[in-house]
Structure 1
């Protein structure tokens, strides 16, 4: 739902045809994999010429609020998505309460919570406001960001009580008591490398699809370092001494839920034992032996090159072993293959 109750004027045909540019989306909707979408957009800045490097805004949108410009761009991409935009500062008291109310009841079905909150803000205060709201509700959300020098970024899944929230591990700008507002310069857009932002936003969207559609492994934390093409991953545990009271409360509730959950990993020893396979006839003398040990595998494999962490080889070429000096070696008789085959047939 857009601001003021405004609805998109055009809707794309649901027919799955080659002429329909959204045919894949419609096919997924028919299969029940993808349902309708609604995006709630919150921001209070206006589009400036310095934002044109984002490749998302367009020059004719200069002066519009960022949420209105984003709605217009996204509606042109897919008119089937419903939008609800709010152009205000979520860090103020009144706006923060309304922000929480829309997370709690602004889902596709009015009155139900949203499925996921995405944080793409560029300042600490806004991140802390999102963090406080999601901890109190509680609401799963994904945080993302690009560094000030624009050559690194990260995405992070935050599950209140289960993983570290944004306040559990504050960034250096807060740990060093730096006022981040002094870091911004007039007319300059921080993190002004659109390639880095495109990569980080792509990683964020990919993680969202895995989380909502339930495939693959959802990343709890995935970083990106453009200088070394390095993608560190980790899972951050919550801090028991977190400054956010709601975070500590969610941690206690998560521990209680885990303690009450039945232990499904315990299996009777009888079920684990496999029945011994017996064959009355075994004319060929086939035997079932244990799997090759790791030591035997290393002995039968070739040398493995030095590789960075997380990369392994699929197979290696065995080293050519020279026979020992006392080994019996068959001499060369000078006979051709056909002659040897004829001699074997005559035996």
Structure 2
């Protein structure tokens, strides 16, 4: 299917229109992690008509993934996530070019990947990856949409130091962070689905210049449906984006 016919329900929105759809077609995103957050985000970005998606994940699909990682099917169990994701996303939208980063990335390779896109979505599940992605985004001056979820709790933060916001390290200093995993604490599938969808929404808004969410943190409790939005101040002495690190 070619042309804008498939995007008619988006194009009719005055905030998007034909010009906005052209912007999405010419835009690219890096998704780090194709789990509970990354799979809905990837589906919505491909469906929205982004021209290019870089995806990174080195795991294989397990049966325990299927209750929340909606890109995969039972027949995919045991397959590399990248392989199954590329197949499913291309089937959804053949106009979106899916590029798989099939090898673990060191800092230089990660920085190169970040520089090659317009926006980065951190859908990973561990602090070392999150800190590495943040450093690359600050160095490359690319906006970062960071999501996380555990149990019934979700959060999303948007960082864009090129526009004066703080970075992930301003919110979470690297030292002394304890890691709680979904295997230990549990996770309800729709919770990561909501956060991943909101990551895709935030990325689309960044690409189209709709609103200004940079430097904001959204916190959500799925049990009570309570949510809060906080501002993330830029820390002058942040080791990643602080004044002493500016060129």
TM range (shorter): 0.7 to 0.9
User: Which structure has the highest strand share of the two?
Assistant: 2
Higher relative contact order (CA 8 A, sep 6+): 2
Give 3-state SS (helix, strand or coil) of 2:135's partner.
helix
Give 3-state SS (helix, strand or coil) of 2:231's partner.
coil
Q: How many residues align?
A: 214
Q: 1:118 and 1:250, CA in 2 relative to 1: closer, same or farther beyond 3 A?
A: farther
* 1:89-104 correspondence to structure 2 within 5 Å: 89-90=104-105, 95-104=106-115
Segments of structure 2 that go 5 or more residues without pairing to the other structure are: 26-50
User: Which structure has the highest helix share of the two?
Assistant: 2
Partner of 2:29: none
Give the conservation status (yes or no) of the 8 Å contact 1:164–1:238: yes
Distance 1:46 1:32 in 2: 39
Look at both structures and tell me which one has the larger radius of gyration over its CA atoms. 1
Give the conservation status (yes or no) of the 8 Å contact 1:41–1:67: yes
Q: Aligned-pair distance for 1:156?
A: 0.8
Q: Aligned-pair distance for 1:252?
A: 5.0
Give 3-state SS (helix, strand or coil) of 2:242's partner.
helix
Q: Aligned-pair distance for 1:98?
A: 1.5
Distance 1:96 1:63 in 2: 29
Segments of structure 1 that go 5 or more residues without pairing to the other structure are: 1-11, 17-21, 107-113, 254-347
Give the conservation status (yes or no) of the 8 Å contact 2:237–2:244: no
Once the two structures are superposed, residues 57-77 of structure 1 have per-residue CA deviations (whole angstroms, 9 ceiling, x without a partner) of 111112222222222221222
Q: Aligned-pair distance for 1:214?
A: 2.6
Q: Aligned-pair distance for 1:23?
A: 4.7
Distance 2:9 2:184 in 1: 34
Partner of 2:158: 157
Distance 1:227 1:199 in 2: 13
- 1:115 corresponds, among 106, 109, 118, to 118
Give the conservation status (yes or no) of the 8 Å contact 1:44–1:89: yes
Distance 1:46 1:23 in 2: 32
Distance 1:250 1:203 in 2: 33
- Root-mean-square deviation (CA, aligned residues, Å) is 2.7
Distance 1:214 1:199 in 2: 22
Distance 2:129 2:169 in 1: 12
Distance 2:137 2:223 in 1: 33
